[in-house]
């Protein structure tokens, strides 16, 4: 609880329009909540957007092993596609957010600068222009797969699964051994740095969750391509 | 009138003037289209060449290809060709004659950038004294007795020669300019001397005296309002990555129509606000923009998505017009959303605005996602 409180107070120190409270609900673990109005005054590719957003950021007791939840008091624009069923904003893939939070000595400050502000900018841009300013990810497990594909710079789903598994479980992976991606290169010459970065920045529980989603997405893709092959085979058979 | 209203008018008028055609460019463009008429004449083709569109109405605004330098001006000119005997049997025979003369001419052959269904485009390279511009030359013949056209503009109607596929396209671009210029007259006379004086002062060396300034270089509040609306459209549709923007002539007609009931002393903000309110009132009815100079609906081909986008832009323009100008960050963001990035910086340099705090640079490290 102390880490989580210190983080919220560090954020409040930088943005004095925010207030911090510790919330206790029954037997649940207490959490810290940051409420208030933040000003978006951001520019990306020459487009400056300025708006004030009233919001609350909920930081759990296990922070930074978990990602904070953010809710806008007035809600996101009606058709904005990245809001969860509970009304909180979907800010990004958890592994991606965890790595961004590692960009500062105070993870909640990094979360604010690297994750929350770009998301608020995207929401404001969407509110005005009905498009996402710098892209977004597919919903569900496909979006997680997209992120790890970009991160590892590999296309093959099973290679992404193996690399993520190596990051989440230490045992089958050796830096001087063959890279889990299947390239037949030594890991040190291939993906060792990526794996080390994930281990250093992302909590194991987040990696495990993301691995499950990536495995699911890979299965979906495999099933789809198997069905497509069967369909094409059948079509070819009918023609002959 | 509130301070906010006056400040906004001043900022919009000055801001859009940065995007206007310069006196040098106006002079050169006029010389160039007259020279084209001379070339056609020397090859035995009798043609009147006149500017139309924004060049003919004094509402030119630089396109927003990158919201900064490097963009060019598009100027529209029409060659109305005459032949006493049988004339041209097909649109392509007229276009072949006009385009052929230019292609065979030593000067113009190098300048032809392309030939489309509607016109041939001549590109004029950037020089030290003016930015690059392009002349879109359309060709046509006089149209007799255009049915349903207001008699005041019937004389100006033409059959434009379109090719691939061949089509005589009835139209009245010069009549539309005449209609606008008639409507603009009462706005032009208001404050004319003061505007000419300030134009003289803002362009040192361009004119020897105030009297030398051509009438076509003066901009009334109505002309400035049309420029603001067109520029706002360019910025919005570019940011929204949407190609189906309303045409400039449709916007010019709407702005002018909604200004009909306004007093001649109205400023830019009042005219743009009346355009926004007028458009918002059209939201629930049948959407049409009748051309006042020719029997056609300028929004005839607008599908529902285009109409919805149009209203989305109108809402965004309204939001920017209502921005709190006492908040310098919001002020700069709103002015740049209407007139393009960098406009507020230039207004600061010209001491119209005080400097605003620097915005945060947004990194795109994390992309939104939902489980």
Q: Residue B367 and residue A136: Cβ atoms within 8 Å? A: yes
Q: What is the ipTM of this complex?
A: 0.89
Q: Which domain holds residue A18?
A: 2-129
In chain B, residues with a C-beta closer than 8 Å to the C-beta of A121 are 362
Clarify whether residues A16 and A122 are in a common domain.
yes
Structural domain includes residue A153: yes
pLDDT recorded at residue B106: 87
- pLDDT tops 80 at residue A82: yes
> Which of A65, A97, A129 is where one domain is finished?
A129
CB within 8 Å of B123: residues ≥ 6 apart:
B72, B111, B112, B113, B132, B134
A135 domain-assigned: no
Q: Is residue A201 part of a domain?
A: yes
Q: What average pLDDT does range B238-259 have in this prediction?
A: 96
**Which value, to the nearest 10 degrees, does the dihedral of the CA atoms of residues A163, A167, A168, A171 take?**
90
Percent of chain B's residues with pLDDT above 90: 67
Residues A149 and A118 in one domain: no
How many folded domains does chain A comprise? 2
Distance from the B328 Cα atom to the nearest Cα atom in chain A, whole angstroms? 10
Kindly state whether residues A92 and A153 are assigned to the same domain.
Answer: no
Of B333, B341, B362, the CB nearest to A118: B362
Contact A91 B241 (CB under 8 A): no
Q: Is A63 on the interface with B (CB under 8 A)?
A: no
Query: Coil, helix or strand for A133?
Result: coil
**Residues of chain B contacting A151 with CB distance shorter than 8 Å:** none
Give yes or no for a contact between A18 and A29, defined as CB atoms under 8 angstroms apart: no
Asked whether residue A134 is assigned to any structural domain, the reply reads no
A113 and A200 fall within a common domain: no
Considering only the beta carbons, identify the residue of B362, B367, B371 that sits closest to A140.
B371
With 70 as the cut, is the pLDDT of residue B71 above it? Answer: no
Instruction: Tell me which DSSP letter residue A189 carries.
Output: G
Strands B120-124 and B133-142: antiparallel
B295 φ, ψ (degrees, to nearest 5): -75, 80
Q: Are residues A12 and A111 in the same domain?
A: yes
**Residue B185, token pair as written in the block:** 């007259």
CB contact under 8 A, B239 and A47: yes
Smallest Cβ–Cβ distance between A117 and the set B327, B341, B360 belongs to B360
CB contact under 8 A, A42 and B359: yes
Cα–Cα distances (Å) from A175 to A148, A165, A188, A199, in that order, read 20, 14, 6, 13
* Domains, chain B, ordered by start: 3-20+219-349 (1.10.1410), 23-171 (3.30.460)
Task: Please enumerate, as own/partner, the contacts of B303-310 that have beta carbons within 8 Å and a separation of 24 or more.
Answer: B305/B244, B306/B244, B306/B246, B309/A130, B309/B237, B309/B240, B309/B242, B309/B244, B310/B246, B310/B279
* Assigned domain for A73 exists: yes
* Contact criterion met (CB < 8 Å) for B365 and A115: yes
Scan residues 174-213 of A and list those with Cβ closer than 8 Å to B. 213
Nearest CA in chain B to A87: B370
- Does residue A125 share a domain with residue A146? no
Which tens digits make up the pLDDT trace of A182-206?
999 999 999 999 999 999 999 999 9
Length of chain B: 371
The minimal CB distance from B369 to the residues A48, A130, A136 is found for: A136
State whether A152 and A120 are in the same domain: no
Lowest mean pLDDT across A23-27, A80-84, B45-49, B356-360: A23-27
What is the pLDDT at residue A174? 83
Closest by CA to B121, choosing from B73, B175, B62, B177, is B73
Q: Assign residue A73 the CATH number of its domain.
A: 3.10.110
- Among chain A residues, the shortest Cα distance to B342 is held by A46
Q: Tell me what pLDDT residue B14 has.
A: 93
Could you report the per-residue pLDDT of A128-149, keeping only the tens digit for each?
A: 999 999 888 988 899 999 999 9
In a domain, A14, yes or no: yes
Contacts 24+ apart (CB under 8 A), B236-243: B236/A129, B236/B313, B236/B316, B236/B317, B236/B337, B237/B309, B237/B313, B238/B64, B238/B67, B239/A47, B239/A125, B239/A128, B239/A129, B239/B337, B240/A129, B240/A130, B240/A131, B240/B309, B240/B312, B240/B313, B241/A131, B242/A131, B242/B309
Strands of chain B, DSSP E = 46-52, 73-82, 112-115, 120-124, 133-142, 158-162, 167-171, 360-361
Which positions ≥6 away from B88 have C-beta within 8 Å?
Answer: B81, B94, B97, B141, B161
Instruction: For residue A131, give the DSSP letter.
Output: S
CA distances from A35 to A12, A38, A55, B140 (A): 10, 9, 6, 66
Q: Reply yes or no on whether the pLDDT at B318 is more than 80.
A: yes
Which pair of tokens denotes residue A28?
């649940």
Residue A77 covered by a domain: yes
Whether residue A60 sits in one domain with residue A146: no
β-strands A18-23, B112-115 pairing: unpaired
pLDDT of B70: 52
Owner of token pair 């709103």: B334
Rg of chain B in Å (alpha carbons): 22
Percentage of chain A modeled with pLDDT above 90: 55
- The vertex-A213 CA angle with A209 and A215, nearest 5°, equals 115
Residue closest to B329 by CA, chosen among A18, A16, A39: A39
CB interface of A with B, residues 101-130, below 8 Å: 113-115, 117-119, 121-122, 125, 128-130
DSSP string, B201-230: HHSTTT-SSGGGS-GGG---HHHHHHHHHH
- What are the start-end ranges of the H helices in A57-116? 94-101, 107-110
Q: Is the dihedral of CA B138, B48, B38, B132 positive or negative?
A: negative
Same domain, residue pair A55 and A83: yes
Q: Do B341 and A131 touch (CB under 8 A)?
A: no
- Distance of alpha carbon A190 from alpha carbon A152, whole angstroms: 10
Whether residue B68 has pLDDT greater than 60? no
Indicate whether A144 belongs to any domain: yes
**Residue given tokens 């001397």 in the structure block:** B193
Residues facing A43 on adjacent strands: A48, B361
Domain boundary among A129, A153, A176: A129
- Buried b / exposed e along B343-368 (16+ C-beta atoms within 10 A): bbeebeeeebbeebeebbebbebbbb
Other Cβ atoms closer than 10 A to B35: 13
Look at residue B85 in the predicted model and tell me its pLDDT.
59
Q: How confident is the model at residue B302 (pLDDT cuts 50, 70, 90)?
A: very high
DSSP H helices, chain A, are 2-14, 94-101, 107-110, 117-129, 140-152, 157-168, 192-201, 204-239
Q: Do A29 and A83 fall within a single domain?
A: yes
Domain boundary among A76, A96, A129: A129
- The residue of chain B with its CA nearest to that of A127 is B316
Residue B73 has what pLDDT?
85
A168 and A92, same domain (yes or no): no
What digits encode the pLDDT tens for the residues B213-240?
Answer: 887 788 999 999 999 999 999 999 999 9
Q: Based on the fold, state whether residues A98 and A200 are members of the same structural domain.
A: no
């Amino acid at each position: 609880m102390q880490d989580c409180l210190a983080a919220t107070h560090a954020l409040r120190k930088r943005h004095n329009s925010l207030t911090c409270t510790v919330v206790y609900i029954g037997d649940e673990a207490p959490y810290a909540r940051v409420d208030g109005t933040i000003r978006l005054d951001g520019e990306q590719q020459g487009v400056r957007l300025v708006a004030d957003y009233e919001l609350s950021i909920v930081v759990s007791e296990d922070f930074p092993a978990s990602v904070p939840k953010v809710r806008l008091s007035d809600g996101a624009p009606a058709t904005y596609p990245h809001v969860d069923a509970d009304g909180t904003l979907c800010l990004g893939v958890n592994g991606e957010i965890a790595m961004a939070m590692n960009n500062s000595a105070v993870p909640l400050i990094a979360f604010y600068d690297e994750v929350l502000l770009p998301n608020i900018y995207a929401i404001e841009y969407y509110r005005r222009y009905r498009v996402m300013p710098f892209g977004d990810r597919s919903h569900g497990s496909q979006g997680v797969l997209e992120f790890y594909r970009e991160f590892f710079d590999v296309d093959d789903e099973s290679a992404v699964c193996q690399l993520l598994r190596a990051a989440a479980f230490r045992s089958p992976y050796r830096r001087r051994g063959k890279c889990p991606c299947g390239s037949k290169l030594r890991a040190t010459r291939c993906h060792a740095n990526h794996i080390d970065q994930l281990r250093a920045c992302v909590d194991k529980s987040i990696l495990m969750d993301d691995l499950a989603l990536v495995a699911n997405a890979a299965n979906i893709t495999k099933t789809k391509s198997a069905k497509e092959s069967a369909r094409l085979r059948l079509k070819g058979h009918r023609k002959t | 009138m509130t301070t906010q209203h006056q400040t906004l008018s001043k900022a919009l008028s000055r801001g859009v003037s940065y995007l206007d055609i310069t006196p040098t460019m106006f002079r050169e463009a006029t010389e160039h289209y007259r020279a084209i008429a001379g070339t056609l004449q020397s090859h035995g083709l009798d043609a009147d060449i006149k500017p139309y569109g924004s060049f003919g109405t004094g509402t030119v605004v630089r396109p927003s290809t990158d919201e900064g330098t490097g963009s060019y001006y598009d100027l529209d000119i029409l060659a109305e060709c005459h032949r006493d005997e049988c004339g041209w049997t097909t649109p392509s025979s007229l276009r072949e004659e006009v385009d052929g003369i230019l292609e065979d001419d030593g000067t113009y052959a190098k300048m032809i950038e392309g030939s489309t269904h509607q016109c041939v485009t001549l590109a004029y390279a950037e020089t030290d004294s003016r930015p690059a511009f392009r002349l879109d030359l359309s060709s046509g013949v006089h149209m007799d007795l255009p049915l349903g056209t207001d008699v005041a503009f019937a004389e100006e109607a033409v059959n434009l020669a379109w090719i691939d596929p061949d089509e005589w396209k009835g139209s009245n671009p010069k009549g539309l300019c005449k209609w606008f210029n008639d409507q603009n007259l009462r706005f032009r006379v208001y404050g004319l001397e003061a505007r000419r004086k300030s134009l003289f002062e803002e362009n040192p060396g361009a004119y020897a005296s105030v009297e030398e300034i051509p009438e076509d270089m003066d901009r009334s509040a109505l002309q400035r309002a049309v420029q603001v609306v067109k520029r706002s459209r360019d910025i919005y549709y570019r940011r929204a990555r949407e190609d189906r923007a309303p045409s400039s002539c449709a916007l010019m007609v709407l702005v002018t129509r909604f200004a009909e009931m306004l007093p001649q002393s109205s400023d830019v903000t009042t005219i743009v606000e009346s355009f926004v309110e007028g458009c918002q009132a059209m939201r629930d009815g049948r959407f049409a923009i009748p051309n006042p100079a020719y029997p056609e609906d300028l929004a005839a081909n607008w599908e529902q998505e285009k109409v919805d986008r149009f209203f989305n832009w109108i809402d965004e323009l309204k939001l920017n017009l209502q921005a709190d100008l006492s908040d310098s960050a919001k002020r700069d963001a709103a002015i740049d959303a209407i007139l393009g990035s960098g406009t507020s910086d230039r207004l600061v340099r010209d001491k119209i605005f005080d400097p605003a705090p620097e915005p945060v640079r947004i990194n795109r490290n994390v992309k939104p996602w939902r489980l």
